[in-house]
Amino acid sequence: MSQATSIAQGPTTETVRWLRPAFTEYFPELLAGFSLRQGGVSLAPFATLNLGMSTGDRPEHVQENRRRLAEAVGFEVERLTLAGQVHGAKVRVVRAPGLYPGYDALVTKADHLVLGITAADCAVVLLYDPERRVLAACHAGWRGAVAGVVAATVAAMRGLGACPDAIWAYVSPCIGLTHFEVGEEVAAQFEPEVVHRRPEWPRPHVDLKQAIVRRLQQVGIPAAHIEVALQDTAACTTQFFSYRAEQGRTGRMLGFIGRRG
């Protein structure tokens, strides 16, 4: 399980930066990453590269931020294909760009689409089967993880011909174990292996990244194909938006995956 995510920045928009999964080095046709919060035009509390429309930010700022990220990464912003997330497990196979309300995962074989998921403490899982050219992106917060969004996404990929043992997966930065304190009713919905208790913690904590990794392995993705970003969004609000650390008034990062050209 690799954890060697690199930081990239655009050739023309120098201040726009994003994390790039290490496995993209194996697949030069692949565009994939997870944005950081610098380089945009949004004002506080969304400063600056807010990529989410559901935040209360000015829509023209979000549109400009999306344009800047697309330019920096190297794709046309019109290719963006976004899930209108609801913290569920519904998956949509898509063939045209746009916004798909009510879905938390998108799957495609279309070369002209760049799939996108917004997040601010939830994880984004990016998936790619290079042999069958199947792409997917899913929104995996705790509710989605418990509801089965990871398995549903891989099932939709298999419906397009993908094989789990050929899929590569990237789990983005999200809220980490130290900051993800939950109530007993939430902890009870996870397997005991990802629920942690310490004397100094008044309530249990959940390791969301490990919960997602376990679900990826359960559907047949090899451990060697799973890359997990180390960063905790709630611990580093200079680099990431964090819904919990910023009391719900903040922007969104974007996890994205597509093919060049």
- Report CA-CA distances (Å) from 203 to 40, 186, 246: 37, 11, 20
Model pTM score: 0.95
- Do 44 and 198 touch, CB atoms closer than 8 A? no
Cα(220)–Cα(66) distance, rounded to whole angstroms? 34
Instruction: Give per-residue pLDDT as tens, 47-74.
Output: 999 999 999 999 999 999 999 999 999 9
- Report CA-CA distances (Å) from 52 to 37, 84, 99, 164: 11, 10, 12, 30
- Do 80 and 88 touch, CB atoms closer than 8 A? no
Instruction: Give per-residue pLDDT as tens, 221-240.
Output: 999 999 999 999 999 999 99
Domains in the chain (CATH in brackets) are: 8-259 (3.60.140.10)
**DSSP states of 99-117:** EEET-SEEEE--TT-EEEE
Closest-CA residue to 129 (of 157, 106, 105): 157
**DSSP states of 20-81:** E-GGGGT-TTEEEEEE-S-S--PPTTS-S----GGGSS-HHHHHHHHHHHHHHHTS-GGGEE
**Mean pLDDT, consecutive 10-residue segments, the chain of 261 residues?**
56 76 97 97 97 97 98 97 98 98 98 98 98 98 98 98 98 98 98 97 98 98 98 98 97 98 75
- For residue 221, give both structure tokens: 């993705």
Write down the pLDDT at residue 6. 65
Residue 152 CA to chain centroid, in angstroms? Answer: 16
b/e burial code for range 186-204 (CB count within 10 A of at least 16 → b): bbeebeeebbbeeeeeeeb
- For residue 159, give both structure tokens: 């419906």
The conformation of residue 94, written as its DSSP 8-state character, comes to -
